[in-house]
Amino acid sequence: MPRRRDAPARRAALISQSGAFILSRLSNLEVLDPALALSIGNQADLTLADLVAAIGQRDDIDVVGVYAEGFKDLDGLDFARATKAATAAGKAVVFYKAGRTEIGRSAAAGHTAAVAGDYDVAIAAATQAGAIVVDRFKDFEQLMELAVALHGKRVGGRRVGAISNAGFETVGMADAIRGARYAVEMADLGEAGRHALGELLARHRLAGLVNPRNPLDLTPMAREQAYEAAIRLMLDSDAVDAVVVSVVPMTPNLRTTAEEIDGFGSLADRIPALFRAADKPMVFVVDAGPRYDPLAGAVRAAGVPVFRSADQAIGALGLYLCSRAPVAEGGSVDQAEVQSP
């Protein structure tokens, strides 16, 4: 793999029973740059619990990602205790457990001689310990990116403000607020918030095209100034705990191609500035093909979590918010609201 020698290490660690899993994640998410990446195979010496216990208490690590195939005898209990201690210390633990099916458990035994054990018990224990449990490799990557980028942000609840310039995305984001392991809600801006949003739309000549509501469809007529104003309104609202900003970039009203984004005032310039100034979680979505990779790459390189699909952004952010949002603010997951996996 090409080495990013000039990139500073991020405050993250990867612990895996598969070295190839680490290599694939680092290749897919080049900006992760973890401070530590440890492959322990069949745990002949140190175990998953040993490493989580040690790394979870380090001052230079905020996020620990774990790929587990199986636990040594009683190590699952120690792993849960180590995870609980790490999350109590303010760390995020992203956990993928292999062996969901009988065939998967057999494959794990052939790979690392791991006895995968009861999947549901392992997941329940990890969840109770505070881990962010994921079911797919892509989810693992997305949650690692989110947890690293959003570690210093304040999470007060699970009310989401969503902005796009395409109607299908606002519908898709609204439909994605409940998933197998999370439940969030679209923030109610209230009468005052909707009035302020209506005035904002009027200033940017969008009042006749856009309904002042959340999720907000700015339409392809919106320019960067309208995007920035809407984002600021959502970030400043006491009714909103986190913001998803999505763009379908094939519009002449936005500077989104490689040739255009270097100029001052493009979304590649505005989004990172807004993210740095915000104390709330904020993520960015570019729903388009390779021509717009430079836009996504520029924003991600500036430290902003970037997704390529708005519904995936809601799902990943939902998992993250539900792991961090305090119960008193409505942030914990009501299991009656969550769909069965």
Written in H, E and C, the secondary structure of the chain is CCCCCCCCCEEEEEEECCHHHHHHHHHHCCCCCEEEEEECCCCCCCCHHHHHHHHCCCCCCCEEEEEECCCCCCHHHHHHHHHHHHHHCCCEEEEEECCCCHHHHHHHHHHHCCCCCCHHHHHHHHHHCCCEEECCHHHHHHHHHHHHHCCCCCCCCCEEEEEECCHHHHHHHHHCCECCCCECEECCCHHHHHHHHHHHHHHCCCCCCCCCCCCEECCCCCCHHHHHHHHHHHHHCCCCCEEEEEECCCCCCCCCCCCCCCCCCCHHHHHHHHHHHCCCCEEEEECCCHHHHHHHHHHHHCCCCEECCHHHHHHHHHHHHHHHCCHHHCCCCCCCCCCCC
Select 159-329's CATH number: 3.20.20.80, 3.40.50.1820, 3.90.550.10, 3.40.50.261.
3.40.50.261
Domain ranges in the chain are 10-149, 159-329
Q: Do domains 10-149 and 159-329 have the same CATH topology?
A: yes
Global pTM value: 0.88
Q: Give the architecture (CATH level 2) of 10-149.
A: 3-Layer(aba) Sandwich (3.40)
pLDDT tens-place values along the chain, 341 residues long: 555 556 678 899 999 988 899 999 888 887 888 999 999 877 778 899 999 999 999 999 999 999 998 888 888 899 999 999 999 999 999 999 987 766 665 665 554 444 445 788 889 999 999 999 999 999 999 999 999 999 999 999 999 999 999 999 999 999 999 998 999 999 999 999 999 999 999 999 999 899 999 999 999 999 999 999 999 999 999 999 999 999 999 999 999 999 999 878 999 999 999 999 999 999 999 999 999 999 999 999 999 999 999 999 999 999 999 998 854 343 334 433 444 33
